[in-house]
Structure 1
Protein backbone atom coordinates (compact mmCIF):
# COMPACT_ATOMS: atom_id res chain seq x y z
CA UNK A 1 0.00 0.00 0.00
CA UNK A 2 1.16 3.50 -0.78
CA UNK A 3 1.19 4.70 2.83
CA UNK A 4 0.66 3.27 6.28
CA UNK A 5 -2.70 1.54 5.91
CA UNK A 6 -1.04 -1.82 5.33
CA UNK A 7 0.23 -1.96 8.90
CA UNK A 8 -3.13 -0.73 10.16
CA UNK A 9 -4.91 -3.58 8.39
CA UNK A 10 -2.47 -6.14 9.78
CA UNK A 11 -3.10 -5.16 13.38
CA UNK A 12 -6.70 -3.99 13.16
CA UNK A 13 -5.60 -0.71 14.77
CA UNK A 14 -4.90 2.74 13.38
CA UNK A 15 -1.36 3.79 14.19
CA UNK A 16 0.13 7.17 14.97
CA UNK A 17 0.92 7.74 11.28
CA UNK A 18 -2.58 7.97 9.85
CA UNK A 19 -3.35 6.32 6.49
CA UNK A 20 -4.00 8.72 3.61
CA UNK A 21 -7.49 9.28 2.22
CA UNK A 22 -8.95 10.93 -0.87
CA UNK A 23 -12.66 11.52 -1.42
CA UNK A 24 -14.44 11.39 -4.76
CA UNK A 25 -17.88 13.02 -4.76
CA UNK A 26 -17.52 14.91 -1.50
CA UNK A 27 -21.07 16.04 -0.79
CA UNK A 28 -22.82 16.15 2.57
CA UNK A 29 -21.84 12.63 3.61
CA UNK A 30 -18.26 12.95 2.39
CA UNK A 31 -17.83 16.29 4.12
CA UNK A 32 -19.15 14.95 7.39
CA UNK A 33 -16.93 11.87 7.44
CA UNK A 34 -13.95 13.83 6.15
CA UNK A 35 -14.27 16.36 8.94
CA UNK A 36 -14.69 13.74 11.62
CA UNK A 37 -11.66 11.78 10.41
CA UNK A 38 -9.56 14.91 10.06
CA UNK A 39 -10.46 16.17 13.54
CA UNK A 40 -9.75 12.75 15.08
CA UNK A 41 -6.54 12.36 13.03
CA UNK A 42 -7.81 9.02 11.82
CA UNK A 43 -6.91 9.71 8.19
CA UNK A 44 -4.66 12.24 6.51
CA UNK A 45 -6.89 13.78 3.85
CA UNK A 46 -5.07 14.28 0.54
CA UNK A 47 -7.43 15.25 -2.27
CA UNK A 48 -11.08 15.97 -2.98
CA UNK A 49 -12.55 15.42 -6.44
CA UNK A 50 -15.99 16.92 -7.15
CA UNK A 51 -17.77 17.91 -10.34
CA UNK A 52 -16.47 21.45 -9.94
CA UNK A 53 -13.33 22.92 -8.43
CA UNK A 54 -15.44 25.39 -6.44
CA UNK A 55 -17.42 22.58 -4.82
CA UNK A 56 -14.22 20.69 -3.97
CA UNK A 57 -12.77 23.83 -2.40
CA UNK A 58 -15.93 24.35 -0.34
CA UNK A 59 -15.69 20.76 0.90
CA UNK A 60 -12.03 21.27 1.77
CA UNK A 61 -12.87 24.42 3.73
CA UNK A 62 -15.60 22.61 5.69
CA UNK A 63 -13.34 19.66 6.48
CA UNK A 64 -10.30 21.80 7.22
CA UNK A 65 -8.01 19.73 5.00
CA UNK A 66 -7.59 18.37 1.50
CA UNK A 67 -6.74 19.84 -1.89
CA UNK A 68 -9.12 20.17 -4.84
CA UNK A 69 -8.29 17.83 -7.71
CA UNK A 70 -9.42 18.38 -11.29
CA UNK A 71 -9.66 14.72 -12.32
CA UNK A 72 -8.86 11.19 -11.21
CA UNK A 73 -5.55 11.51 -12.99
CA UNK A 74 -4.75 14.50 -10.77
CA UNK A 75 -5.30 12.59 -7.52
CA UNK A 76 -2.25 11.73 -5.50
CA UNK A 77 -1.88 8.05 -4.65
CA UNK A 78 -3.76 7.40 -1.41
CA UNK A 79 -4.09 4.39 0.86
CA UNK A 80 -7.88 4.70 0.94
CA UNK A 81 -10.41 6.14 -1.51
CA UNK A 82 -13.96 6.99 -0.48
CA UNK A 83 -16.40 7.24 -3.39
CA UNK A 84 -19.23 9.28 -1.89
CA UNK A 85 -20.91 10.17 -5.19
CA UNK A 86 -24.55 9.39 -5.90
CA UNK A 87 -25.50 5.75 -6.37
CA UNK A 88 -25.74 6.07 -10.14
CA UNK A 89 -22.17 7.39 -10.32
CA UNK A 90 -20.33 5.01 -7.98
CA UNK A 91 -19.34 2.42 -10.58
CA UNK A 92 -18.35 5.10 -13.10
CA UNK A 93 -16.17 6.88 -10.53
CA UNK A 94 -14.52 3.60 -9.59
CA UNK A 95 -13.89 2.80 -13.26
CA UNK A 96 -12.28 6.21 -13.76
CA UNK A 97 -10.14 5.78 -10.65
CA UNK A 98 -8.94 2.40 -11.86
CA UNK A 99 -8.32 3.65 -15.40
CA UNK A 100 -6.20 6.49 -14.00
CA UNK A 101 -3.78 3.94 -12.56
CA UNK A 102 -4.35 4.98 -8.95
CA UNK A 103 -5.01 1.48 -7.62
CA UNK A 104 -2.71 -1.37 -6.74
CA UNK A 105 -2.78 -4.46 -4.52
CA UNK A 106 -3.23 -3.12 -1.00
CA UNK A 107 -5.29 -0.07 -1.98
CA UNK A 108 -8.71 0.28 -0.36
CA UNK A 109 -11.81 1.63 -2.12
CA UNK A 110 -15.22 1.91 -0.42
CA UNK A 111 -18.56 3.62 -0.78
CA UNK A 112 -21.35 4.49 1.65
CA UNK A 113 -24.46 3.62 -0.36
CA UNK A 114 -27.27 1.93 1.49
CA UNK A 115 -28.78 0.38 -1.63
CA UNK A 116 -25.69 -0.86 -3.48
CA UNK A 117 -23.14 -3.46 -2.44
CA UNK A 118 -19.37 -3.42 -2.73
CA UNK A 119 -19.75 -5.30 -6.03
CA UNK A 120 -20.18 -1.84 -7.60
CA UNK A 121 -16.43 -1.49 -7.09
CA UNK A 122 -15.52 -4.40 -9.36
CA UNK A 123 -13.02 -2.30 -11.33
CA UNK A 124 -11.03 -1.75 -8.13
CA UNK A 125 -11.15 -5.44 -7.24
CA UNK A 126 -9.82 -6.33 -10.69
CA UNK A 127 -6.72 -4.26 -9.94
CA UNK A 128 -6.08 -5.96 -6.61
CA UNK A 129 -7.64 -3.35 -4.34
CA UNK A 130 -9.73 -4.36 -1.32
CA UNK A 131 -13.29 -3.03 -1.46
CA UNK A 132 -16.12 -2.47 0.99
CA UNK A 133 -19.43 -0.72 1.55
CA UNK A 134 -20.16 0.98 4.88
CA UNK A 135 -23.56 2.67 5.17
CA UNK A 136 -24.22 5.08 8.07
CA UNK A 137 -27.90 4.67 8.99
CA UNK A 138 -28.89 8.30 9.36
CA UNK A 139 -29.65 11.47 7.44
CA UNK A 140 -26.81 13.82 6.42
CA UNK A 141 -29.04 16.81 5.63
CA UNK A 142 -26.96 19.20 7.77
CA UNK A 143 -23.30 18.07 7.89
CA UNK A 144 -22.37 20.40 10.76
CA UNK A 145 -25.07 18.92 13.01
CA UNK A 146 -24.33 15.35 12.01
CA UNK A 147 -20.62 15.85 12.69
CA UNK A 148 -21.43 17.13 16.17
CA UNK A 149 -23.71 14.20 16.99
CA UNK A 150 -22.30 11.31 14.96
CA UNK A 151 -21.22 9.17 17.95
CA UNK A 152 -23.41 6.09 18.28
CA UNK A 153 -24.40 5.99 14.60
CA UNK A 154 -25.03 2.45 13.35
CA UNK A 155 -23.41 1.51 10.04
CA UNK A 156 -24.17 -1.53 7.91
CA UNK A 157 -20.88 -2.95 6.64
CA UNK A 158 -19.78 -5.58 4.15
CA UNK A 159 -16.78 -6.20 1.94
CA UNK A 160 -13.30 -7.62 1.81
CA UNK A 161 -11.65 -8.49 5.13
CA UNK A 162 -8.56 -6.42 4.29
CA UNK A 163 -10.69 -3.32 3.71
CA UNK A 164 -12.80 -3.80 6.83
CA UNK A 165 -9.67 -4.33 8.94
CA UNK A 166 -8.79 -0.68 8.26
CA UNK A 167 -12.23 0.87 7.84
CA UNK A 168 -13.73 -0.78 10.94
CA UNK A 169 -11.29 0.93 13.33
CA UNK A 170 -11.59 4.16 11.32
CA UNK A 171 -15.36 4.28 11.81
CA UNK A 172 -15.03 3.20 15.43
CA UNK A 173 -12.63 6.10 15.96
CA UNK A 174 -15.43 8.58 15.18
CA UNK A 175 -18.00 6.80 17.36
CA UNK A 176 -19.72 4.61 14.77
CA UNK A 177 -21.06 1.14 15.57
CA UNK A 178 -20.69 -1.33 12.70
CA UNK A 179 -23.10 -4.17 12.06
CA UNK A 180 -22.10 -6.83 9.54
CA UNK A 181 -24.52 -7.53 6.70
CA UNK A 182 -24.51 -10.05 3.84
CA UNK A 183 -23.39 -8.57 0.52
CA UNK A 184 -26.08 -10.45 -1.39
CA UNK A 185 -28.82 -9.08 0.90
CA UNK A 186 -27.81 -5.43 0.62
CA UNK A 187 -30.97 -4.41 -1.26
CA UNK A 188 -33.24 -6.07 1.31
CA UNK A 189 -31.22 -4.41 4.09
CA UNK A 190 -31.86 -1.03 2.51
CA UNK A 191 -35.55 -1.83 2.03
CA UNK A 192 -35.76 -2.36 5.80
CA UNK A 193 -34.51 1.20 6.31
CA UNK A 194 -37.11 2.46 3.83
CA UNK A 195 -39.87 0.67 5.78
CA UNK A 196 -38.62 2.17 9.04
CA UNK A 197 -38.08 5.70 7.74
CA UNK A 198 -39.65 6.73 4.43
CA UNK A 199 -42.80 4.61 4.62
CA UNK A 200 -43.42 5.67 8.20
CA UNK A 201 -43.67 9.25 6.93
CA UNK A 202 -46.08 8.07 4.24
CA UNK A 203 -48.26 6.37 6.87
CA UNK A 204 -48.35 9.58 8.88
CA UNK A 205 -49.49 11.39 5.74
CA UNK A 206 -52.26 8.85 5.06
CA UNK A 207 -53.43 8.99 8.69
CA UNK A 208 -53.51 12.78 8.51
CA UNK A 209 -55.52 12.65 5.27
CA UNK A 210 -58.03 10.25 6.87
CA UNK A 211 -58.44 12.51 9.91
CA UNK A 212 -58.96 15.50 7.61
CA UNK A 213 -61.54 13.57 5.59
CA UNK A 214 -63.28 12.86 8.90
CA UNK A 215 -63.54 16.61 9.56
CA UNK A 216 -60.41 17.39 11.62
CA UNK A 217 -58.11 20.28 10.72
CA UNK A 218 -54.72 19.19 9.28
CA UNK A 219 -52.65 20.79 12.07
CA UNK A 220 -54.81 19.20 14.76
CA UNK A 221 -54.66 15.84 12.96
CA UNK A 222 -50.88 15.77 13.36
CA UNK A 223 -51.27 16.49 17.07
CA UNK A 224 -53.60 13.49 17.36
CA UNK A 225 -51.17 11.26 15.48
CA UNK A 226 -48.04 12.23 17.39
CA UNK A 227 -48.78 10.56 20.77
CA UNK A 228 -50.17 7.46 19.06
CA UNK A 229 -47.05 7.10 16.94
CA UNK A 230 -44.49 7.96 19.61
CA UNK A 231 -46.05 5.75 22.30
CA UNK A 232 -46.53 2.81 19.93
CA UNK A 233 -42.94 3.10 18.71
CA UNK A 234 -41.58 3.39 22.25
CA UNK A 235 -43.52 0.28 23.32
CA UNK A 236 -42.36 -1.66 20.25
CA UNK A 237 -38.72 -0.84 20.97
CA UNK A 238 -39.11 -1.60 24.67
CA UNK A 239 -41.30 -4.73 24.52
CA UNK A 240 -40.90 -5.97 20.96
CA UNK A 241 -43.48 -5.47 18.16
CA UNK A 242 -45.76 -8.40 19.04
CA UNK A 243 -46.05 -7.54 22.73
CA UNK A 244 -46.64 -3.86 21.91
CA UNK A 245 -49.51 -4.51 19.49
CA UNK A 246 -52.91 -3.08 20.51
CA UNK A 247 -56.13 -2.26 18.64
CA UNK A 248 -59.03 -4.17 17.11
CA UNK A 249 -57.01 -6.93 15.44
CA UNK A 250 -55.06 -7.61 18.64
CA UNK A 251 -58.44 -7.90 20.43
CA UNK A 252 -59.88 -10.13 17.73
CA UNK A 253 -62.54 -7.52 16.85
CA UNK A 254 -62.69 -8.26 13.14
CA UNK A 255 -66.13 -6.68 12.78
CA UNK A 256 -64.59 -3.29 13.53
CA UNK A 257 -61.80 -4.01 11.05
CA UNK A 258 -64.38 -4.81 8.35
CA UNK A 259 -66.29 -1.57 9.02
CA UNK A 260 -63.08 0.45 8.92
CA UNK A 261 -62.03 -1.17 5.66
CA UNK A 262 -65.40 -0.29 4.10
CA UNK A 263 -65.13 3.32 5.29
CA UNK A 264 -61.62 3.67 3.87
CA UNK A 265 -62.73 2.00 0.62
CA UNK A 266 -65.47 4.59 0.18
CA UNK A 267 -63.02 7.41 0.98
CA UNK A 268 -59.94 6.34 -0.99
CA UNK A 269 -59.72 2.90 -2.67
CA UNK A 270 -55.93 3.06 -2.96
CA UNK A 271 -55.59 3.57 0.80
CA UNK A 272 -58.11 0.74 1.34
CA UNK A 273 -55.75 -1.64 -0.44
CA UNK A 274 -52.97 -0.59 1.91
CA UNK A 275 -55.30 -0.98 4.91
CA UNK A 276 -56.14 -4.51 3.78
CA UNK A 277 -52.48 -5.45 3.39
CA UNK A 278 -51.61 -4.07 6.80
CA UNK A 279 -54.58 -5.87 8.34
CA UNK A 280 -53.26 -9.19 7.02
CA UNK A 281 -49.74 -8.52 8.33
CA UNK A 282 -51.13 -7.29 11.66
CA UNK A 283 -53.19 -10.48 11.99
CA UNK A 284 -49.96 -12.46 11.68
CA UNK A 285 -48.37 -10.25 14.32
CA UNK A 286 -51.39 -10.69 16.60
CA UNK A 287 -51.04 -14.46 16.28
CA UNK A 288 -47.40 -14.18 17.31
CA UNK A 289 -48.52 -12.12 20.29
CA UNK A 290 -51.02 -14.79 21.22
CA UNK A 291 -48.27 -17.40 20.98
CA UNK A 292 -46.06 -15.34 23.27
CA UNK A 293 -43.51 -14.19 20.67
CA UNK A 294 -41.91 -10.76 20.89
Structure 2
Protein backbone atom coordinates (compact mmCIF):
# COMPACT_ATOMS: atom_id res chain seq x y z
CA UNK A 1 0.00 0.00 0.00
CA UNK A 2 1.10 3.57 -0.64
CA UNK A 3 2.33 5.77 2.22
CA UNK A 4 2.21 9.19 0.52
CA UNK A 5 -0.76 11.52 0.68
CA UNK A 6 -1.11 11.87 -3.09
CA UNK A 7 -3.30 9.30 -4.79
CA UNK A 8 -1.11 7.38 -7.20
CA UNK A 9 -2.72 5.88 -10.32
CA UNK A 10 -2.42 2.40 -8.81
CA UNK A 11 -4.01 3.36 -5.50
CA UNK A 12 -6.13 0.48 -4.24
CA UNK A 13 -9.66 1.37 -3.17
CA UNK A 14 -11.98 -1.12 -1.51
CA UNK A 15 -15.66 -0.28 -1.93
CA UNK A 16 -17.62 -1.74 0.99
CA UNK A 17 -21.34 -1.74 0.34
CA UNK A 18 -23.03 -3.05 -2.80
CA UNK A 19 -25.97 -0.67 -2.90
CA UNK A 20 -26.80 1.99 -5.48
CA UNK A 21 -23.91 4.35 -4.79
CA UNK A 22 -21.36 1.61 -4.12
CA UNK A 23 -21.77 0.15 -7.58
CA UNK A 24 -21.68 3.50 -9.36
CA UNK A 25 -18.58 4.64 -7.44
CA UNK A 26 -16.81 1.35 -8.16
CA UNK A 27 -17.39 1.76 -11.90
CA UNK A 28 -16.33 5.41 -11.88
CA UNK A 29 -13.15 4.92 -9.85
CA UNK A 30 -12.20 1.89 -11.94
CA UNK A 31 -12.71 3.94 -15.10
CA UNK A 32 -10.46 6.62 -13.59
CA UNK A 33 -7.63 4.08 -13.40
CA UNK A 34 -7.65 3.09 -9.75
CA UNK A 35 -7.39 -0.51 -8.59
CA UNK A 36 -10.89 -1.10 -7.23
CA UNK A 37 -11.92 -4.03 -5.06
CA UNK A 38 -15.65 -4.57 -4.89
CA UNK A 39 -18.24 -3.44 -4.33
CA UNK A 40 -18.14 -5.82 -1.38
CA UNK A 41 -20.93 -6.84 0.94
CA UNK A 42 -20.61 -5.77 4.56
CA UNK A 43 -20.13 -9.37 5.67
CA UNK A 44 -17.28 -10.02 3.20
CA UNK A 45 -13.74 -10.33 4.53
CA UNK A 46 -12.01 -6.94 4.48
CA UNK A 47 -9.19 -6.83 1.91
CA UNK A 48 -5.96 -4.85 2.24
CA UNK A 49 -6.31 -1.50 0.46
CA UNK A 50 -5.00 2.04 0.50
CA UNK A 51 -8.53 3.38 1.03
CA UNK A 52 -11.64 1.65 2.31
CA UNK A 53 -14.68 3.60 1.11
CA UNK A 54 -17.79 2.70 3.10
CA UNK A 55 -21.03 2.88 1.11
CA UNK A 56 -23.18 1.44 3.89
CA UNK A 57 -26.16 2.72 5.91
CA UNK A 58 -25.24 5.36 8.46
CA UNK A 59 -26.08 3.06 11.36
CA UNK A 60 -23.57 0.47 10.09
CA UNK A 61 -20.62 2.84 9.72
CA UNK A 62 -19.06 2.40 13.21
CA UNK A 63 -18.97 -1.40 13.06
CA UNK A 64 -17.81 -1.61 9.44
CA UNK A 65 -15.16 1.07 9.98
CA UNK A 66 -13.83 -0.88 12.96
CA UNK A 67 -13.68 -4.07 10.89
CA UNK A 68 -11.78 -2.57 7.95
CA UNK A 69 -9.47 -0.28 9.95
CA UNK A 70 -6.60 -2.84 10.26
CA UNK A 71 -6.65 -3.38 6.49
CA UNK A 72 -6.66 0.19 5.11
CA UNK A 73 -4.44 3.24 5.42
CA UNK A 74 -7.46 5.53 5.19
CA UNK A 75 -11.10 4.77 5.96
CA UNK A 76 -13.85 6.97 4.55
CA UNK A 77 -17.63 7.06 4.32
CA UNK A 78 -20.01 8.57 1.77
CA UNK A 79 -22.61 9.78 4.26
CA UNK A 80 -23.75 13.38 4.23
CA UNK A 81 -25.11 13.29 7.77
CA UNK A 82 -22.64 11.18 9.77
CA UNK A 83 -19.67 12.84 11.54
CA UNK A 84 -16.07 11.70 11.14
CA UNK A 85 -15.82 9.98 14.54
CA UNK A 86 -15.11 6.54 13.02
CA UNK A 87 -13.42 7.45 9.72
CA UNK A 88 -10.61 9.59 8.33
CA UNK A 89 -12.59 11.47 5.70
CA UNK A 90 -15.98 11.73 4.06
CA UNK A 91 -17.02 12.04 0.43
CA UNK A 92 -20.72 12.75 -0.15
CA UNK A 93 -21.85 13.20 -3.78
CA UNK A 94 -24.68 15.73 -3.82
CA UNK A 95 -26.74 13.76 -6.30
CA UNK A 96 -29.48 11.15 -6.42
CA UNK A 97 -28.63 7.69 -7.76
CA UNK A 98 -30.60 4.73 -9.08
CA UNK A 99 -27.54 2.47 -9.32
CA UNK A 100 -27.53 2.23 -13.12
CA UNK A 101 -25.58 5.42 -13.86
CA UNK A 102 -22.36 5.60 -15.86
CA UNK A 103 -19.20 7.24 -14.46
CA UNK A 104 -20.15 10.50 -16.19
CA UNK A 105 -22.87 11.06 -13.57
CA UNK A 106 -20.27 12.63 -11.26
CA UNK A 107 -19.05 15.22 -13.73
CA UNK A 108 -19.89 18.75 -12.64
CA UNK A 109 -21.81 17.82 -9.49
CA UNK A 110 -20.96 19.02 -6.00
CA UNK A 111 -19.30 16.67 -3.52
CA UNK A 112 -19.21 17.50 0.19
CA UNK A 113 -15.88 16.51 1.74
CA UNK A 114 -14.14 16.71 5.09
CA UNK A 115 -11.09 15.14 6.69
CA UNK A 116 -9.62 14.67 10.14
CA UNK A 117 -6.06 15.30 8.91
CA UNK A 118 -4.55 17.26 6.01
CA UNK A 119 -3.67 13.97 4.30
CA UNK A 120 -7.22 12.68 4.62
CA UNK A 121 -8.74 15.93 3.40
CA UNK A 122 -6.38 15.94 0.42
CA UNK A 123 -7.38 12.38 -0.45
CA UNK A 124 -11.06 13.34 -0.33
CA UNK A 125 -10.50 16.35 -2.57
CA UNK A 126 -8.43 14.36 -5.07
CA UNK A 127 -11.04 11.61 -5.30
CA UNK A 128 -13.77 14.17 -5.95
CA UNK A 129 -11.74 15.88 -8.67
CA UNK A 130 -10.77 12.58 -10.30
CA UNK A 131 -14.49 11.84 -10.59
CA UNK A 132 -14.94 15.17 -12.37
CA UNK A 133 -16.87 16.67 -9.45
CA UNK A 134 -16.54 19.97 -7.59
CA UNK A 135 -15.54 19.41 -3.94
CA UNK A 136 -16.60 21.72 -1.14
CA UNK A 137 -16.00 21.31 2.57
CA UNK A 138 -18.74 20.68 5.14
CA UNK A 139 -17.57 20.13 8.72
CA UNK A 140 -19.27 18.06 11.39
CA UNK A 141 -20.85 21.16 12.96
CA UNK A 142 -22.88 21.85 9.81
CA UNK A 143 -23.71 18.34 8.60
CA UNK A 144 -27.30 18.40 9.86
CA UNK A 145 -28.12 21.65 8.03
CA UNK A 146 -26.34 20.46 4.89
CA UNK A 147 -28.13 17.12 4.82
CA UNK A 148 -31.50 18.74 5.54
CA UNK A 149 -30.88 21.07 2.59
CA UNK A 150 -30.22 18.05 0.39
CA UNK A 151 -33.47 16.43 1.53
CA UNK A 152 -35.44 19.59 0.75
CA UNK A 153 -33.79 19.81 -2.67
CA UNK A 154 -34.45 16.18 -3.61
CA UNK A 155 -36.57 13.96 -1.35
CA UNK A 156 -39.19 16.55 -0.45
CA UNK A 157 -39.39 17.77 -4.04
CA UNK A 158 -40.55 14.27 -4.98
CA UNK A 159 -43.18 14.43 -2.24
CA UNK A 160 -44.57 17.61 -3.77
CA UNK A 161 -44.34 16.22 -7.30
CA UNK A 162 -46.21 13.08 -6.25
CA UNK A 163 -49.09 15.26 -5.04
CA UNK A 164 -48.98 17.25 -8.28
CA UNK A 165 -49.04 14.05 -10.32
CA UNK A 166 -52.11 12.70 -8.52
CA UNK A 167 -54.02 15.97 -8.78
CA UNK A 168 -53.16 16.24 -12.47
CA UNK A 169 -54.29 12.65 -13.02
CA UNK A 170 -57.66 13.51 -11.45
CA UNK A 171 -57.92 16.26 -14.08
CA UNK A 172 -56.99 13.87 -16.89
CA UNK A 173 -53.50 15.33 -17.33
CA UNK A 174 -50.42 13.11 -17.62
CA UNK A 175 -47.34 13.91 -15.55
CA UNK A 176 -45.34 14.30 -18.78
CA UNK A 177 -47.10 17.63 -19.25
CA UNK A 178 -45.93 18.80 -15.82
CA UNK A 179 -42.28 17.90 -16.43
CA UNK A 180 -41.37 20.95 -18.59
CA UNK A 181 -42.89 23.22 -15.93
CA UNK A 182 -40.81 21.54 -13.23
CA UNK A 183 -37.62 21.80 -15.28
CA UNK A 184 -38.14 25.49 -16.07
CA UNK A 185 -38.98 26.27 -12.46
CA UNK A 186 -35.73 24.66 -11.32
CA UNK A 187 -33.78 26.52 -14.01
CA UNK A 188 -35.30 29.84 -12.90
CA UNK A 189 -34.50 29.07 -9.25
CA UNK A 190 -30.92 28.07 -10.11
CA UNK A 191 -30.43 31.32 -12.01
CA UNK A 192 -31.89 33.79 -9.53
CA UNK A 193 -33.23 32.14 -6.36
CA UNK A 194 -36.75 31.44 -5.16
CA UNK A 195 -38.19 34.92 -4.65
CA UNK A 196 -37.47 36.33 -8.14
CA UNK A 197 -38.54 33.03 -9.74
CA UNK A 198 -41.85 32.77 -7.89
CA UNK A 199 -45.00 33.02 -10.02
CA UNK A 200 -48.61 32.03 -9.49
CA UNK A 201 -51.65 33.21 -7.54
CA UNK A 202 -49.99 33.65 -4.13
CA UNK A 203 -47.35 36.10 -5.29
CA UNK A 204 -50.06 37.95 -7.27
CA UNK A 205 -52.31 38.17 -4.22
CA UNK A 206 -55.10 36.22 -5.93
CA UNK A 207 -56.58 34.60 -2.84
CA UNK A 208 -59.79 33.57 -4.63
CA UNK A 209 -57.78 31.28 -6.91
CA UNK A 210 -55.76 29.99 -3.95
CA UNK A 211 -59.02 29.09 -2.18
CA UNK A 212 -60.26 27.15 -5.22
CA UNK A 213 -56.95 25.29 -5.42
CA UNK A 214 -57.17 24.44 -1.73
CA UNK A 215 -60.70 23.08 -2.14
CA UNK A 216 -59.53 20.88 -5.02
CA UNK A 217 -56.62 19.52 -2.94
CA UNK A 218 -58.72 17.71 -0.34
CA UNK A 219 -56.44 14.66 -0.13
CA UNK A 220 -53.42 16.94 0.28
CA UNK A 221 -54.96 19.69 2.44
CA UNK A 222 -52.29 19.68 5.16
CA UNK A 223 -49.49 19.69 2.60
CA UNK A 224 -51.19 22.47 0.62
CA UNK A 225 -51.62 24.63 3.73
CA UNK A 226 -48.01 24.17 4.82
CA UNK A 227 -46.70 24.96 1.35
CA UNK A 228 -49.02 27.95 0.93
CA UNK A 229 -47.78 29.41 4.22
CA UNK A 230 -44.15 28.93 3.21
CA UNK A 231 -44.85 30.34 -0.26
CA UNK A 232 -46.42 33.49 1.23
CA UNK A 233 -43.17 34.05 3.13
CA UNK A 234 -41.23 33.81 -0.14
CA UNK A 235 -43.74 36.11 -1.84
CA UNK A 236 -42.99 38.70 0.82
CA UNK A 237 -39.43 38.83 -0.50
CA UNK A 238 -40.43 38.78 -4.18
CA UNK A 239 -40.60 41.80 -6.49
CA UNK A 240 -44.09 43.31 -6.64
CA UNK A 241 -46.41 41.69 -9.18
CA UNK A 242 -46.82 43.73 -12.34
CA UNK A 243 -50.10 45.11 -13.61
CA UNK A 244 -49.96 42.60 -16.43
CA UNK A 245 -49.56 39.75 -13.94
CA UNK A 246 -52.59 40.92 -11.99
CA UNK A 247 -54.62 41.35 -15.18
CA UNK A 248 -53.85 37.79 -16.16
CA UNK A 249 -55.80 36.60 -13.11
CA UNK A 250 -58.83 38.83 -13.63
CA UNK A 251 -59.45 39.12 -17.35
CA UNK A 252 -61.87 36.74 -19.01
CA UNK A 253 -60.24 34.30 -21.44
CA UNK A 254 -60.98 34.86 -25.12
CA UNK A 255 -64.09 33.12 -26.40
TM (norm. structure 1) is 0.71
SS at match of 1:288: coil
2:211 counterpart (254, 258, 279): 258
Q: Residue deviations 1:42-85, cap 9 Å, x none?
A: x3335764257xxxxxxxxxxxxxxxxx523xx22x32211122
Residue 245 of structure 1 and its aligned partner are, at CA, apart by 0.6
Q: CA RMSD in A?
A: 2.6
Establish whether residue 140 from structure 1 lines up as the match of residue 97 from structure 2: yes
Q: How many residues align?
A: 239
1:164–1:282 CA distance, 2 compared to 1 (3 A): same
SS at match of 1:45: strand
Residue 250 of structure 1 and its aligned partner are, at CA, apart by 0.9
Instruction: Name the CA distance, whole Å, in 2 between partners of 1:159 and 1:247.
Output: 44
2:202 counterpart (249, 254, 266): 249
Residue 252 of structure 1 and its aligned partner are, at CA, apart by 1.7
Establish whether residue 152 from structure 1 lines up as the match of residue 108 from structure 2: yes
Q: Is the 8 A contact 1:159 1:183 kept in 2?
A: no
SS at match of 2:60: helix
Comparing 252-261 with 228-237, greater Cα deviation is found at 252-261
Partner of 1:50: 41
Partner of 1:97: 68
Partner of 2:130: 173
Partner of 2:140: 183
2:165 counterpart (208, 216, 239): 208
Partner of 1:71: 45
Choose between structure 1 and 2: higher helix proportion.
1
Establish whether residue 280 from structure 1 lines up as the match of residue 251 from structure 2: no
Q: Residue deviations 1:220-255, cap 9 Å, x none?
A: 241442233222222222232111111111112233
Q: Is the 8 A contact 1:154 1:176 kept in 2?
A: yes
Structure 2 segments unaligned to the other structure (5+ residues): 241-255
SS at match of 2:178: helix
Partner of 1:37: 29
Q: Residue deviations 1:155-183, cap 9 Å, x none?
A: 11123232111221122122121121131
Q: Is the 8 A contact 1:5 1:166 kept in 2?
A: no
1:113 counterpart (52, 61, 79): 79
Instruction: Name the CA distance, whole Å, in 2 between partners of 1:233 and 1:85.
Output: 30
Instruction: Name the CA distance, whole Å, in 2 between partners of 1:237 and 1:283.
Output: 20
Partner of 2:51: 80
1:132–1:210 CA distance, 2 compared to 1 (3 A): same
Instruction: Name the CA distance, whole Å, in 2 between partners of 1:91 and 1:164.
Output: 20
Partner of 2:15: 23
Partner of 1:57: none
Residue 288 of structure 1 and its aligned partner are, at CA, apart by 0.9
Instruction: Name the CA distance, whole Å, in 1 between partners of 2:20 and 2:161.
Output: 27
1:253–1:156 CA distance, 2 compared to 1 (3 A): same
Partner of 1:60: none
